[in-house]
Amino acid sequence: MTVDSTAARKPRRSSSKRSSAKQGPAEPQLVQLLTPEGKRVEHPDYSIDLTPEELRGLYRDMVLTRRFDAEATTLQRQGELGLWASLLGQEAAQIGSGRALRDDDYVFPTYREHGVAWCRDVDPTNLLGMFRGVNNGGWDPNTNNFHLYTIVIGSQALHATGYAMGVAKDGADSAVIAYFGDGASSQGDVAEAFTFSAVYNAPVVFFCQNNQWAISEPTEKQTRVPLYQRAQGYGFPGVRVDGNDVLACLAVTRAALDRARTGQGPMLIEAFTYRMGAHTTSDDPTRYRRDEEREMWEAKDPILRLRTYLTDEGMADEAFFAGLEEESDALAKRVRDVVRAMPDPDHMAMFEHTYADGHALVDEERAAYAEYQASFVTAEEGN
Amino acid sequence: MATEKMSLLKAINASLRTALENDPKVLIMGEDVGKLGGVFRVTDGLQKDFGEERVIDTPLAESGIVGTAIGLALRGYRPVVEIQFDGFVFPAYDQIVTQLAKMHARSLGKVKLPVVIRIPYGGGIGAVEHHSESPEALFAHVAGLKCVSPSNASDAYWMMQQAIASDDPVIYFEPKRRYHDKSELDTAAIPGPLHTARVTRPGTDLTLAAYGPMVKVCLDAAAAAAEEGKSIEVVDLRSMSPIDFDTLQTSVEKTGRLVVVHEAPVFLGTGSEIAARITERCFYHLEAPVLRVGGFHAPYPPSRLEDEYLPDLDRVLDAVDRALAY
């Protein structure tokens, strides 16, 4: 038997022989409202009508998010952060979905949702504490209805589902959104979140940013069907959206949130995008992917296409872009200054907050460690 | 209601009922907890009286049960979830260890997760594989969790009340072989703190420490030893995290000898930690090394062999004799 006899095999994306051919049913159309060339197009199911000011707002969000992200990468290279997970390339997916949310909606992010955090008015410098190593998150999720970053892949999909079950029990018309990636789609917790949300008709939107890579593994290592199609088996709709099109991401997420709010249950959105950078600053993508692929996606850049559209339609002038550049620089400087001044936690801080109601062992160990520390001070004073 | 004699199982049921009545945020979740009332009937009648919105039959997915309970707790609910059997908790172990236990610290105290996880545990009921295990040390080892196990109806009732009231996640281990043992329950009593041990039988020659299903075995052993003229003190630990070392220390300073008994494997078990701590605290009072009686470093055996695996009167008395021989 030869490999070729496996008739069910799908053409591989890397196959030069078939690269120009249609990808077949496995590569469906995606919802797009703004082409990579910056042209507005219509979609039969999803539409959007934004004022020039709103469009400029989305552009500003994406530019500032990218600048913040670049600054964080730089700070890691300078040793100010231990690690950074860049969102470069995913700005449209995050800003589009993030701007679809209402204040009373609730977000359950992964550790890469810096753009969504921006939309929730989370101070960007709050996100950096865990990457600097001064805390493991530490912000109050209820201040901005933006949960702590979750590092264990896929866990938060269940938290979002449970939270949404609570929203429904409360009779509220808020919606919940769970972010995860193509890698997380393989996790049992995501599958269980799909099951629970469908069974209880929970008002939750699953927003999967398929950025094509789970560290070094391409999406082909996670699935044999387009990810949005998974929803069908659970009994709720799934849709693939151009994840580099901020208008489409906004329109589709709005529609999904509206469904959730009106008791129509969960929906899966697969935002088809690309991780332009490394998985994190510790990763080296040159070991597993080709430059040409990145170049292909560069042509689909989410920010460039909106800039083209704004310019072509006369909705933004040079003064706007120049002003935004200045604002970006100011943001970067503020981030830099705050991070560099971020103090290490007190050496006793690790004992705090292990429990809400206290714990005898923690008390005992805290006291013993304080005494141990104090013994050094005493010795120094003694000398 | 004043004092009445009640089974441990019915006491848990009564406690859950009280909690559902007192706090509209309390939810019961788990597989078959609704119409069926749970495979052991611990939640019998609760869905009928409090409805499907509060007594929730869940899909058959333990990680999903605990993960959604976390989400509900984030929304302000106080879920009490049932894991059907001890050996089925492991699909949820990730959610319990990486999320439930750590979110309070991760948020620097801003998020509280008042989730109770009920786990019927332990052997002695002639069950198939995965239905007789004692995994408490795997949870007590995790900072952020609290672990308790009642040995009688009164504790079962009150410790459940306190576990639900706790703002920390509590793993509530139910000694399933004692479900139908009856004892006095006073639902009007004022209970002591949740994480304190109790001297159940005073004695002067040796301390037996146990919790959950092994308390009865230890009391029986103490009674048998008394016939031979040995005075054994029995301490019901009640809580495996935190452990009330102060009560144990007081006891051991008096008796000079300690034997810890649990069904869980001895190796790196609760008894190991107790032995180390009590040795540190009571070094000059100890007349013998702290001994442990428990399961072996082998998978829980088929039920025809479980009586060999589980500590019984004779194995406890053997350890008592060895400790007293020093």
CB contact under 8 A, B64 and A192: yes
- The whole-number pLDDT of residue A138 equals 87
Cα separation, A205 vs A267, in Å, equals: 5
**How confident is the model at residue A282, as a pLDDT?**
95
Cβ contact, residue pair A196, B111, below 8 Å: no
Which of A67, A113, A71 is closest to A90 using CA atoms?
A113
* E strand map for chain A: 106-108, 176-181, 204-210, 213-214, 217-218, 238-242, 267-272
Using one digit for the tens of pLDDT, what is the confidence trace for A182-217?
A: 999 999 999 999 999 999 999 999 999 999 999 999
Which residues of chain B make contact with A193, given a CB cutoff of 8 A? 64, 67-68
Tell me the three state secondary structure of residue A332.
helix
Tokens of B62: 């333990």
- Contact between B212 and B116 (Cβ < 8 Å): no
Check: CB of residue A210 under 8 Å from CB of residue A227.
yes
Facing residue for A195 by CB, picked from B61, B103, B143: B61
Per-chain mean pLDDT for chain A = 92
CA B16/CA B172 separation, integer angstroms = 13
- pLDDT of B137 > 90? The answer is yes
Q: Tell me: pLDDT of B318 over 80.
A: yes
The residue-averaged pLDDT of A56-67 equals 98
Q: Residue A31's pLDDT is what?
A: 98
Listed by start position, the domains of chain A span: 25-341, 349-382
Instruction: Determine whether the interchain pair B75/A160 forms a contact, defined as Cβ–Cβ distance below 8 Å.
Output: no
How close is the nearest chain B Cα to the Cα of A203, in Å? 13
Shortest Cα distance, chain B CAs vs residue A78, angstroms: 26
CB pairs under 8 A between A and B: 147
Question: What pLDDT does residue A381 have?
Answer: 60
Residues of chain A contacting B95 with CB distance shorter than 8 Å:
155, 158, 189
Average pLDDT over residues B42-50: 98
**3.40.50.300, 3.10.20.30, 3.40.50.2300, 3.40.50.970: CATH of A25-341:** 3.40.50.970
Q: Is the Cβ–Cβ distance between B264 and B234 less than 8 Å?
A: no
pLDDT of residue A28: 75
For testing contact with chain B, the best of A122, A135, A140, A158 (most B CBs within 10 A): A158
Count CB neighbours of A357 within 10 A: 15
DSSP symbols for B43-99: TTTHHHHH-TTTEEEPPS-HHHHHHHHHHHHHTT-EEEEE-SSGGG-GGGHHIIIII
Write down the pLDDT at residue B293. Answer: 98
Instruction: Judge whether residue A6 has pLDDT over 50.
Output: no
Taking 60 as the threshold, does the pLDDT of residue B257 lie above it?
yes
> Which ipTM was obtained for this model?
0.97
Q: Tell which residue, B79, B28, B34, has the closest CA to residue B57.
A: B34
CA distance B8 to chain A (A): 27
The tokens of B297 are what?
């470093």
A111 is catalytic: no
* Closest residue, chain A, to B101 (C-alpha): A354
Closest to B213 in 3D by CA, of B275, B156, B142, B278? B156
* Identical topology for domains B7-186 and B198-324: yes
**Taking the complete model, does pTM exceed 0.90, yes or no?**
yes
Catalytic residue flag (residue A288): yes
> Is the per-residue pLDDT at A14 higher than 90?
no
What are the tens digits of pLDDT across the range A171-183? Answer: 999 999 999 999 9
**Half-sphere exposure of residue A64: CA atoms within 13 angstroms, side-chain side:** 24
Architecture of the structural domain at B198-324: 3-Layer(aba) Sandwich (3.40)
Which H or E run contains A293? helix A291-298
Chain-chain contact of A356 with B104 (C-beta, under 8 angstroms):
yes
Domain B7-186 sits in CATH at 3.40.50.970
Give mean pLDDT, residues B248-255: 98
Burial B178-209 (b: 16+ CB within 10 A, else e): bbebbbebebeeeeeebbbbbbbbebebbbbb
Which positions in chain B touch A137 (Cβ < 8 Å)? 106-108
Give the pLDDT mean for A11-36: 61
Domain assignments of chain B as residue spans, ordered by start: 7-186, 198-324
Displacement of CA B179 from its chain's centroid (Å)? 12
The confidence score (pLDDT) of residue B2 equals 74
